[in-house]
Amino acid sequence: MKKNNFQFKEDFLIGSAIAACQVEGSWKEYGKGETIADWKTFNPNLDRKNFKTEDEMELTKEKLNYNVQNESNLIFPNRTAIEFFENFEQDVQQMKDTGIKSLRFSISWARIYPDCDQEKPNQEGIIFYKKLFELLKSKNIVPIVTLSHFDYPIDVINKYGGFDNKKVMDVFFKYAKTCINEFKSYCKYWIPFNEINCTIISPTTGAGIILGENEIELKKQKSYKALHNQFVTNCLIKQYIVEQNLDLQIGGMIASRQSYPISCHPEDVWIDTIASQKNLYFYLDVMTRGYYPNYIKNFFKENLIDINAEHKELELLQKYNIDFIGFSYYKSMTNGRNVETTGGNLTVGGKNPFLESTEWGWQIDPIGLRILMNDLWDRYQKPLYIAENGIGMDEHFDIEKKDFNDYYRIDYLKGHIKNMILAMNDGVECIGYSVWTAIDVISMSTREMTKRYGLIYIDQDDYGQGSHKRYLKESGKWFKKLVDSKGAICFE
């Protein structure tokens, strides 16, 4: 194969991704309501090597109560984030300097409907996002919108609880229709729920379910019920755009759980097969094929789980499938009888002796991306979209010397994007790739600032202190060359 074949096409959606609760700030301004992210705290004593991501992302009623009662003594990083709301014009321009051609961002539900039952949306929220859309349009950056990215509104929780309550489907659908009606002329690609499998891993983060410490046994039942309601809501949104004859596409998105058997022993292979069914394929089987597969029905039966699926809802699942498959990919894991566990992006799995890991235990596996892309394409025949891919590192640069050499990020991105292009040469249809992320943001799992993913450095520490000035890292300069070369730089 000739070298010049190792490129993506001109219309490939190469870009970046951000989330409202990790960048916007202005948590109570311009009519915005509070979200669950606004009440999560930074723990300066967190042991990075020994913590469970899902535990850090969950909130019990008792923990939320404690945070409310001790508000003045705690740190809530998402409330100010990186002040994107006030600086979006500057930040988007600097993102453009990295060469991005697309930007996946989320709209904050609580900024559009601070009171989920109010009839008309908050106009200040509508105005802000229209300004953002207009800015992206002026810079030829294609928007990809996520409607719910881990910032569940407190107002919804107080009134209706989590997504396990079917009433929440109605208020979310109203919000989704408002966004589509207001912004349809700007945006073709829509993802209702970020990493929808987070609802099972961290139901607080993914579905707004907050349980008391004496109610933890309800977690599994409530989370799968909430997930079903989210599946159906996806279909309701797809039905709406079909009936309105809108030229829009609806995608489903998961946090990928790429895994391997720890050995070729048949028992290890079987353990990995079961894990892949439950943790990866299940979500996509429902959203692309339109029904619950037998293996998950057996799981529901064995665990006495009733998802309260109505006949009309199952019909919707069959009729209104997603148009593309979005997924985040950061690492892979192993499964088997005897594995040493490690964490990474919402999940815990077995260590792979052939892979290196980040400080947070995330195993670096570029070839795994190619394997996953081929697997998903062969199984579902739906266009793929890599919604997130990147590496978080504890970074402290010398600002005076203008030394922002994150060579390790360049190595990480080069390896993954190379394997993405190889997968596309294998015959996989992929519409886009979004690095996580173009600019340093507040970490979702630990609320740190020093766990940095950006191509752009922000002079801001874990306590929000610093000049807040932005500086282009070496990876940002490299990413511009990547885009200009349509990926060919990865093969040099």
Per-residue pLDDT of 423-444, as tens digits, reads 999 999 999 999 999 999 999 9
Residues paired with 16 in a beta bridge: 103, 435
**3-state DSSP assignment of residue 243:** helix
Catalytic choice (56, 195, 313, 448): 195
- Averaged over 336-343, what is the pLDDT? 81
Report residue 51's pLDDT band, with 50, 70 and 90 as the boundaries: low
Report residue 166's pLDDT band, with 50, 70 and 90 as the boundaries: very high
Report residue 64's pLDDT band, with 50, 70 and 90 as the boundaries: very high
Q: How far apart are CA 91 and CA 357, in angstroms?
A: 30
User: pLDDT at position 1, please?
Assistant: 34
Q: What letter would DSSP give residue 288?
A: I
3-491: which CATH number, 2.40.110.20, 3.20.20.80, 2.40.50.140, 3.40.50.300?
Answer: 3.20.20.80
For residue range 291-319, what is the model confidence (pLDDT) as tens digits?
999 999 999 999 999 999 999 999 999 99
Q: Are 157 and 201 in contact (CB under 8 A)?
A: no
Classify residue 251 by burial, with Cβ atoms within 10 Å: 0-12, 13-18, 19+.
buried
User: pLDDT at position 482, please?
Assistant: 98
Q: Is residue 55 pLDDT above 80, yes or no?
A: no
User: pLDDT at position 2, please?
Assistant: 40
Question: DSSP string spanning 242-287?
Answer: HHTT---EEEEEEE---EEESSSSHHHHHHHHHHHIIIIIHHHIII
For residue range 182-203, what is the model confidence (pLDDT) as tens digits?
999 999 999 999 999 999 999 9
Residues paired with 333 in a beta bridge: 259
Nearest to 236 by CA among 145, 166, 186: 166
Q: How far apart are CA 161 and CA 275, in angstroms?
A: 30
User: pLDDT at position 349, please?
Assistant: 79
Which of 13-27, 43-57, 274-288 has the least mean pLDDT? 43-57
Q: Are 441 and 453 in contact (CB under 8 A)?
A: yes
Give the chain's count of helices (H) and strands (E).
18, 16
Segment holding 60, helix H or strand E: none
Q: Which residue has the higher pLDDT, 57 or 245?
A: 245
Nearest to 125 by CA among 139, 138, 137, 111: 111
- Averaged over 170-175, what is the pLDDT? 98
For residue range 217-255, what is the model confidence (pLDDT) as tens digits?
999 999 999 999 999 999 999 999 999 999 999 999 999
Global pTM reads 0.96
Q: Is residue 50 pLDDT above 90, yes or no?
A: no
Classify residue 208 by burial, with Cβ atoms within 10 Å: 0-12, 13-18, 19+.
buried
Catalytic choice (24, 34, 58, 388): 388
Q: Quickly tell me which residue has 């001790």 as its tokens.
A: 70
User: pLDDT at position 299, please?
Assistant: 96
Is residue 29 among the annotated active site residues? no
Segment holding 471, helix H or strand E: strand 470-472
User: pLDDT at position 347, please?
Assistant: 66
Q: Is residue 338 pLDDT above 70, yes or no?
A: yes
User: pLDDT at position 3, please?
Assistant: 45
Is residue 195 among the annotated active site residues? yes
**3-state DSSP assignment of residue 430:** strand
* Domain positions in the chain: 3-491
User: How long, in residues, is the chain?
Assistant: 492
Classify residue 71 by burial, with Cβ atoms within 10 Å: 0-12, 13-18, 19+.
exposed
Which of 38-52, 142-156, 371-385 has the least mean pLDDT? 38-52
- Report the alpha-carbon angle 409-343-340, nearest 5: 120
Q: Is residue 361 pLDDT above 70, yes or no?
A: yes
Q: What letter would DSSP give residue 289?
A: I
User: pLDDT at position 357, please?
Assistant: 85
What is the amino acid identity at position 116? C
Q: Which residue has the higher pLDDT, 346 or 443?
A: 443
